A and B are shown apart, each in its own frame.
Chain A
């Protein structure tokens, strides 16, 4: 366990070095947050029917989304991708480590480092000036932390699966583009999931992607009441288990047919 923790820490520290990128990203995310708030403002003004979310709730949802954007906007682990392309992956395999746990640790660090760098300033700025409301209650805040941690694990499990798939396509660019696009739409990052049409709701409820954004956000604002939050957390837990199992299975197959590139 200590080995994986050490690798997590090392990767995390490296990622924390990218402060300039985080600052630029923060600026971009504030800008797009504004655009999205304005779009929803126009939508709520022009609509007379009752919506499943109030406008202040949507604003909070948008800023939470901007803060946690990188949890959803992901690619397979860049380091592992380079390793597979150059053959340095051989070094990963001569370690007395479980390869899946090793890659999961790396991915987990890659998920949390950049998110943390952007989320903290975004909470401060959006909370003070941009209409991000505080959690509905202490219970909601506590459940939100739990759901966010689960969202991080879920996101890491999906990203690790994408990383493992790179073993099959040497360039892997197609996968890298397709996966995140789907996740982005179905997690609620573009349109909050409650605003989707009625017929789409069962599908969205079933899919794993809401667990990365929509679930923690709505728990935060009490839109999912604490009583129902348990089921949402369970939904996350089940999908985490599914993605980890799939990743492990695929990796076991992948290493059996592995061709380490270059000489």
Chain B
């Protein structure tokens, strides 16, 4: 029995359009022009208990809208949605007790209060039993290494520290469902690793169901067996990472910083896709040419300051899936 069922969800927003210039602004006062944005256009999926799903897509694709509907904050225009057998926006309060949410770009902690006081407030808000709260808090504090942060006012925390505290804050009431909306956004490498590690353990040890939205492909690679790709309000792909990559492209990108901006890197196994001053980006297929081989060849033939290899960004993959759909 799935924990979350979403069927043909549609959500539109009316956005007021501003016309440029003073005259446009004045006309806007008298008559507003509205544009309808379809944030969700028939989204369907189902989640079993204990699944960890990566929900990816470019900005404005509809990720956060989906999460907000699942949290009971937004009401969709059409479609069916059930979370633990409840319609979230009808039973917002009951739903809220079973759900933990982290919005990565904002904090749920009280800005002027020490972290521990925010935790105690949340204990009161969710009416967590003192014994349960104590056990949960100690466990989270140990897992996320929060001990030195508990007495610090939130405004003095770094982004990475704050995110760790936010993660703990959303789990104090031990919810069976967790929505993490871009929890690694803006974090440095060490903090990202800490967050990923924690999410992994959360799934393994507590068996909670997790929806993770992110722009970071590395988050997905490290954490998710199943990936939902959404763009322009539609689910484009639903499957494992391997399936997704295999379906789209196996390619990697090699970015080279050249000493001489006039030099032109050419290689039989790689194609140039971008060049900006000293920096060139080439794409290649690691099944045709191995990474060390290509790097060796390029660095032998050209004067190079720096280079790195990466996966194509999510936007690229999504764009290709989208392209595939059209053709």
Chain A residues in contact with chain B, CB under 8 A?
A: 2-3, 5-7, 10, 13-14, 17, 86-88, 90-91, 93-98, 256, 258-260, 262-263
Distance in Å: Cβ of A172 to nearest Cβ of chain B: 16
Are the CB atoms of B113 and A259 closer together than 8 Å?
Answer: no
Return chain A residues, CB-CB under 8 Å to B72.
93-94
Q: How far is the CA of A249 from the CA of B13 in the complex (A)?
A: 23
Query: Which residues from 61 to 106 on chain B have a C-beta closer than 8 Å to any C-beta of chain A?
Result: 63-64, 68, 71-75, 92-94, 96-97, 99, 101, 103, 105-106
Given the interface contacts A14-B112, A88-B107, A262-B105, does A94 sit within 8 Å of B71 by beta carbon?
A: yes
Chain-A contact segment, one of B118-126, B198-206, B252-260, B275-283: B118-126
- Which 7 A-B pairs rank lowest in CB-CB distance, beginning with the nearest? A6-B124, A96-B96, A91-B108, A93-B73, A88-B106, A3-B125, A14-B112
Return chain A residues, CB-CB under 8 Å to B71.
90, 93-94
B59 within 8 A of A: yes
Are the CB atoms of A263 and B74 closer together than 8 Å?
Answer: no
Most A CB contacts (10 A, CB to CB) among B60, B113, B120 go to B113
Distance in Å: Cβ of B150 to nearest Cβ of chain A: 16
B45 within 8 A of A: no
Q: How far is the CA of A10 from the CA of B118 in the complex (A)?
A: 9
Return chain A residues, CB-CB under 8 Å to B13.
259
Return chain A residues, CB-CB under 8 Å to B238.
none
Most B CB contacts (10 A, CB to CB) among A5, A14, A86, A94 go to A94
Return chain B residues, CB-CB under 8 Å to A259.
13
Distance in Å: Cβ of B16 to nearest Cβ of chain A: 10
* Identity of the chain A residue whose Cβ is nearest the Cβ of B126 in the assembled complex: A96
Q: How large is the interface on B (under 10, 10 to 19, 20 to 34, 35 or more residues)?
A: 20 to 34
Could you list 7 further interchain pairs (A-B, Cβ under 8 angstroms) beyond the known A91-B101, A97-B125?
A: A6-B124, A87-B103, A90-B103, A94-B99, A95-B96, A96-B93, A258-B74
User: What are 10 A-B contacts defined by CB distance under 8 Å?
Assistant: A6-B124, A7-B125, A14-B112, A88-B107, A256-B75, A258-B73, A260-B73, A260-B74, A262-B64, A263-B60
Return chain A residues, CB-CB under 8 Å to B285.
none
Are the CB atoms of B117 and A10 closer together than 8 Å?
Answer: yes
Are the CB atoms of A7 and B121 closer together than 8 Å?
Answer: yes
Q: How far is the CA of A86 from the CA of B108 in the complex (A)?
A: 12
Q: How far is the CA of A181 from the CA of B178 in the complex (A)?
A: 45
Return chain A residues, CB-CB under 8 Å to B59.
263
Return chain B residues, CB-CB under 8 Å to A86.
106
* Identity of the chain A residue whose Cβ is nearest the Cβ of B16 in the assembled complex: A170
Q: How far is the CA of A6 from the CA of B126 in the complex (A)?
A: 11
B127 within 8 A of A: yes
Return chain B residues, CB-CB under 8 Å to A6.
120-121, 124-125
* Identity of the chain A residue whose Cβ is nearest the Cβ of B68 in the assembled complex: A260
Given the interface contacts A96-B126, A97-B125, does A14 sit within 8 Å of B73 by beta carbon?
A: no
Task: Identify which of A7, A17, A87 contacts B106 (C-beta below 8 A).
Answer: A87
Distance in Å: Cβ of B79 to nearest Cβ of chain A: 17
Are the CB atoms of A94 and B73 closer together than 8 Å?
Answer: yes
Query: Which residues from 209 to 265 on chain B have a C-beta closer than 8 Å to any C-beta of chain A?
Result: none
Are the CB atoms of A17 and B112 closer together than 8 Å?
Answer: yes
Return chain B residues, CB-CB under 8 Å to A5.
124
Are the CB atoms of A95 and B106 closer together than 8 Å?
Answer: no
Task: Identify which of A7, A94, A260 contacts B96 (C-beta below 8 A).
Answer: A94
Q: How far is the CA of A90 from the CA of B170 in the complex (A)?
A: 13
Return chain B residues, CB-CB under 8 Å to A13.
113
Given the interface contacts A93-B73, A94-B96, does A263 sit within 8 Å of B64 by beta carbon?
A: yes
Return chain A residues, CB-CB under 8 Å to B112.
14, 17
Q: How far is the CA of A258 from the CA of B126 in the complex (A)?
A: 23
Q: How far is the CA of A259 from the CA of B126 in the complex (A)?
A: 25
Given the interface contacts A7-B125, A10-B121, A90-B73, does A97 sit within 8 Å of B106 by beta carbon?
A: no
Q: How far is the CA of A97 from the CA of B121 in the complex (A)?
A: 12
Given the interface contacts A6-B124, A260-B73, A263-B59, does A90 sit within 8 Å of B93 by beta carbon?
A: no
Return chain A residues, CB-CB under 8 Å to B63.
263
* Identity of the chain A residue whose Cβ is nearest the Cβ of B106 in the assembled complex: A88
Q: How far is the CA of A103 from the CA of B196 in the complex (A)?
A: 35
Return chain B residues, CB-CB under 8 Å to A88.
103, 106-108
Q: How far is the CA of A7 from the CA of B122 in the complex (A)?
A: 9
* Identity of the chain B residue whose Cβ is nearest the Cβ of A86 in the assembled complex: B106
Are the CB atoms of A2 and B93 closer together than 8 Å?
Answer: no
Task: Identify which of A93, A96, A256, A263 contacts B125 (C-beta below 8 A).
Answer: A96
Are the CB atoms of A263 and B124 closer together than 8 Å?
Answer: no
* Identity of the chain A residue whose Cβ is nearest the Cβ of B120 in the assembled complex: A6
